[in-house]
């Protein structure tokens, strides 16, 4: 009777090592998972990492992760920008005759993403947008606009790192 279970080839084991390493980042764990004894796992893990086919696999795997990360990061930054730059007049209008909430069907999906809450109670309709100052702070930090202030206080530990240009008779 023939053996139903074929042993993996060295190439298959090495590619499996590369896949496991790309998930865990730990060469010893990846080596143990493909059948290397724990005693030799560190040595073989380092050797396998140097192999061209492993490096090629990892390069391709990083490209996929980079694309996903970039898309995800861009989406988050887009949402934060929308919140930071949201204008209340997109959602309501007001004047001498009162406040009028705009129809949600007239708002874009990006505009709708800026709305935290809409409710109706005994005091009328209430609309809340996500916190603008928090979004501005996060965007500023992402773009390196703030630095730790050596003389800052506990309440205000950040300072603007880029110069501020004032015009006219402004005082500093």
| In the predicted structure, residue 85 carries a pLDDT above the cut 80 | yes
Note whether 124 and 137 are same-domain residues: no
The Cα–Cα gap between 10 and 134 comes to: 53
Inter-residue contact 20 to 33 (CB < 8 Å): yes
What total of structural domains would you count in the chain?
3
Does this model's pTM top 0.75? no
Are both 160 and 135 inside the same structural domain? yes
Same-domain check for residues 125 and 135 = no
pLDDT cut 70: percent of the chain above it: 77
Same domain, 57 and 104: no
Same domain as 50, residue 36 = yes
Judge if 15 and 40 occupy the same domain.
yes
Q: Report if residue 54 sits inside a domain.
A: yes
Q: For residue 170, is it within any domain?
A: no
Q: Are the CB atoms for 109 and 123 separated by under 8 Å? A: no
State the residue range of the domain holding 29: 10-65
Segment 133-166, tens digit of pLDDT: 888 888 888 877 776 554 555 666 555 554 444 4
SS (H, E, C) 19-62: HHHHHHCCHHHHHHHCCCCCCCHHHHHHHHHHCHHHHHHHHHHH
State whether 114 and 151 are in the same domain. Answer: no
Looking at the structure, do residues 47 and 23 belong to the same domain, yes or no?
Answer: yes
87: Cβ–Cβ under 8 A, 6 or more apart, which residues?
Answer: none
């Amino acid at each position: 009777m023939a053996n139903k279970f074929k042993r993996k080839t060295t190439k298959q084991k090495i590619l499996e090592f590369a896949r496991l390493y790309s998930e865990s980042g730990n060469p010893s764990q990846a080596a143990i998972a493909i059948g290397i004894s724990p005693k030799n796992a560190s040595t073989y893990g380092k050797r396998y990492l140097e192999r061209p086919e492993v490096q090629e696999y990892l390069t391709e795997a990083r490209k996929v992760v980079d694309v996903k990360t970039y898309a995800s990061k861009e989406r988050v930054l887009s949402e934060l920008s929308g919140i930071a730059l949201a204008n209340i007049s997109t959602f309501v209008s007001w004047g001498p005759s009162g406040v009028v909430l705009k129809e949600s069907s007239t708002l874009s999906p990006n505009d709708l993403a800026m709305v935290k809450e809409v409710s109706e109670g005994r005091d009328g309709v209430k609309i809340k947008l996500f916190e603008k100052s928090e979004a501005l702070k996060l965007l500023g930090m992402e773009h390196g606009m703030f630095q730790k202030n050596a003389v800052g206080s506990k309440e205000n530990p950040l300072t603007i790192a880029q110069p501020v240009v004032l015009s006219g008779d402004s005082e500093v």
